Amino acid sequence: MSTSFLYPPYLVRVIFSLFSILLVQKVSKSLEISLGAGILMLGLWTGHSPSAFWDIVIHRVLSLDSLFLTMVIVGVIWLSSLLAEAGIMKDLVSSLERRLPKRWLLAALPAVVGLLPMPAGALFSAPLLDDGDTNNEMDPLLKTRINYWFRHIWEYWWPLYPGVLLAVDITGVPVWKFVLVMFPLFFASTGAGYIFLLSRIRKGNANNSLADPKAFLPLILPTLMVIVVYSGILVFLPSLSDINKYLPMVLGVLSGIGMLQVQRPLPWKVWKKVLGSKRTVSLAVIVLLARVYGAFIEARLPGGNFLMDQIRSELNDFGIPLLLLIFLIPFISGVTTGITVGYVGASYPVIFRLLGSDPSPALLFSTIALTHTSGYLGMIFSPIHVCLIVTNEYFKTGLWESLKGLVKPGCFVLGSAALYATALYILLPR
């Protein structure tokens, strides 16, 4: 057997490791086992010795980022569970039902949560969406796709997202210009979600004739508290973010839990049930495993090069045209990292270096539109995306089945982005 067959290009090895996650999850029905298999394949196949392999694993698991991210995940699970136990989720859904038709209700719930760049925020919105299906008549797979898709419709342009801020920093484009350029793709994403996902829900009208017995604001007060504290820390106490980037979110979630306890006090019996939930431990482990996989993507290879640098070099060596590189590099970065900051950080420096030192507005903004969208879609189709993982875990659905149903809306968005980028290139100064 030839050496080239055993050691194909690094891009092929990464793709195979991702497919192994999907395959093992389908067979084992366990995300923990499937992520572990993907980590093992990627780590050993990229040439790391057993000792180097475990060094990378231990360093990532024991890192400060992992500690605080785990605190955020656990806090989000506790807050969402306590909101359910306090009856606020059902009251919120009931209130929105009186204002929105069912289709838009189920889109609005994850979209509202998506305004907050919260790790695993889809876990926060999943119980809300589940309660919105009052007659329990929807396929869990459809609920998974709706929750996951609409949770992320803001990530094209919403400036609270770290990935958007990083993109602004790398491109040198003012925030308002980046927002202006990317905002139309929010409508493309919403339209795709309606055509391919929401249209499958039986129509239902908002019941505006009924008086709403609950004031809307108190129902979203714990969630608003999370947003206000998080945003307030970023604006007025930015030094706390220097300790750890997840610390403001930890404090925001804890303040939301505190507000809920003041608003609707829960007995110790309920707290004990929520704090000791096996689901909390399971999801924390899953998130840590996803971070470990990301560590191998970010790690240096035994030869000294970074894995992503090696993949970029391979793409160039294959003689792939610039336009295709503008799509492929961010898409692959999105699939392999599963986060916005990941694909922006890995692909933007390369893509915008390829444009030269002083690209025209037409070239710059059309490239931003296509690059950001392709990276976004790569992130959406990543089997290690935490929001996908926790949504599948909540609704007990499979990764592969969930992703298959997003191919059509994804193609719709990509086609829209291609047309939009072409229009920008034609209309803007060159």
SS3 content of the chain, % helix, strand, coil (to 5): 75, 0, 25
What pLDDT, on a 0 to 100 scale, did the predictor assign at position 119?
A: 64
**Residue 211: band (very low, low, confident or very high) from pLDDT cuts 50, 70, 90:** very low
Range scoring the smallest mean pLDDT among 107-116, 212-221, 288-297: 212-221
283-296 tens-digit pLDDT: 788 778 877 887 88
Range scoring the smallest mean pLDDT among 65-69, 159-163, 187-191, 203-207: 203-207
**Who wins on pLDDT, 13 or 279?**
13
Place of tokens 């392709």: 374
Q: Is the pLDDT of residue 384 over 80?
A: yes
Residues in CB range of 305: below 8 A, 6 or more apart: none
3-class DSSP state of 254: helix
List the structure tokens of 245.
């980037």
| Distance, CA of 168 to chain centre | 19
Q: Is the pLDDT of residue 206 over 70?
A: no
E strand segments, 358-416: none
Round to the nearest angstrom and report the end-to-end CA distance of the chain.
Answer: 52
Average pLDDT over every residue of 304-318: 81
What pLDDT, on a 0 to 100 scale, did the predictor assign at position 205?
A: 54
Could you give the CA distance from residue 191 to residue 205 in angstroms, rounded to a whole number? 19
Instruction: Give me the sign of the Cα torsion angle 105, 106, 110, 115.
Output: negative
**Who wins on pLDDT, 77 or 263?**
263
Residues in CB range of 237: below 8 A, 6 or more apart: 248
Place of tokens 């997840």: 246
Q: Is the pLDDT of residue 147 over 90?
A: yes
Could you give the CA distance from residue 411 to residue 416 in angstroms, rounded to a whole number? 8
Q: Is the pLDDT of residue 159 over 80?
A: no
Could you give the CA distance from residue 170 to residue 341 in angstroms, rounded to a whole number? 12
Residues in CB range of 181: below 8 A, 6 or more apart: 173, 365, 368, 369, 424
258-278 tens-digit pLDDT: 999 999 999 999 898 888 888
Residues in CB range of 47: below 8 A, 6 or more apart: 301, 302, 303
**Residue 209: band (very low, low, confident or very high) from pLDDT cuts 50, 70, 90:** very low
Other beta carbons less than 10 A from residue 211's beta carbon: 6
User: Percentage of the chain with pLDDT > 70?
Assistant: 94
Q: What is the average pLDDT score of the chain?
A: 85
Average pLDDT over every residue of 91-102: 76
Average pLDDT over every residue of 235-243: 86
338: alpha, beta or left, given left = phi > 0 and alpha = psi -120 to 50? left
Q: Is the pLDDT of residue 343 over 80?
A: yes
Could you give the CA distance from residue 309 to residue 311 in angstroms, rounded to a whole number? 5
Helices 31-45, 278-298: axis angle to 10 degrees equals: 20
44: phi then psi, degrees, rounded to nearest 5:
-80, -35
Could you give the CA distance from residue 382 to residue 294 in angstroms, rounded to a whole number? 11
DSSP for 161-221 reads: SHHHHHHHHHHT--HHHHHHHHHHHHHHHHHHHHHHTGGGSPP----TTS--SS-HHHHHH
* Burial status of residue 69 (CB atoms within 10 A of its CB: 0-12, 13-18, 19 or more): buried
Residue boundaries of the structural domains of the chain? 157-201+305-430
3-class DSSP state of 32: helix
306: phi then psi, degrees, rounded to nearest 5:
-80, 150
Could you give the CA distance from residue 141 to residue 238 in angstroms, rounded to a whole number? 40
3-class DSSP state of 101: coil
List the structure tokens of 77.
């699970």
Could you give the CA distance from residue 57 to residue 290 in angstroms, rounded to a whole number? 11
